[in-house]
Amino acid sequence: MRAFCIDAPEKTSIRDIAEPQLAGGQVLLRVRRVGFCGTDLSIYKGKMPLAGYPRIPGHEIGATIEALGAGVPSKWTRGQEVTVQPTTACGQCSSCRAKRFNACRRNATLGVQRDGAMTSLIAVPHEKLFASPKLGLEDLALVEPFSIGFHAANRGRVQAGESVAVLGCGTIGLGAVAGAAHRGARVIGVDIDPAKLELARRFGAQVTVNSKSGDPAKALHELTGGEGPDAVIEAIGIPQTYRLAVEAVAYCGRVVYVGYAKEEIAFDTKDFVLKELDLLGSRNALAEFPEVIAYFESGKADPKWLINRRVTLDEAGAALAAWNARPADVTKIMLALD
Note down pLDDT in tens along the chain; length 338 residues. Answer: 999 999 999 999 999 999 999 999 999 999 999 999 999 999 999 989 889 999 999 999 999 999 999 999 999 999 999 999 999 999 999 999 999 999 999 999 999 999 999 999 999 999 999 999 999 999 999 999 999 999 999 999 999 999 999 999 999 999 999 999 999 999 999 999 999 999 999 999 999 999 999 999 999 999 999 999 999 999 999 999 999 999 999 999 999 999 888 789 999 999 999 999 999 999 999 999 999 999 999 999 999 999 999 999 999 999 999 999 998 889 999 999 98
CA–CA distance, 318 with 329 (Å, rounded to integer): 14
CA–CA distance, 323 with 65 (Å, rounded to integer): 31
CA–CA distance, 256 with 166 (Å, rounded to integer): 9
| DSSP string for 2-27 | EEEEEEETTEEEEEE-PPPPPPTTEE
- List the one residue out of 208, 229, 83 whose CA is nearest residue 153: 229
Q: Which secondary structure element, helix H or strand E, spans residue 231, and what is its range?
A: strand 231-234
pTM of the model: 0.95
Q: Quick one: 149-281 is in which CATH superfamily?
A: NAD(P)-binding Rossmann-like Domain (3.40.50.720)
Domain ranges of the chain: 2-141+302-336, 149-281
Residue 267 is which amino acid? F
CA–CA distance, 154 with 116 (Å, rounded to integer): 27
2-141+302-336 topology per CATH: Quinone Oxidoreductase; Chain A, domain 1 (3.90.180)
Identify the bridge partners of residue 316 per DSSP, sorted by sequence position: none
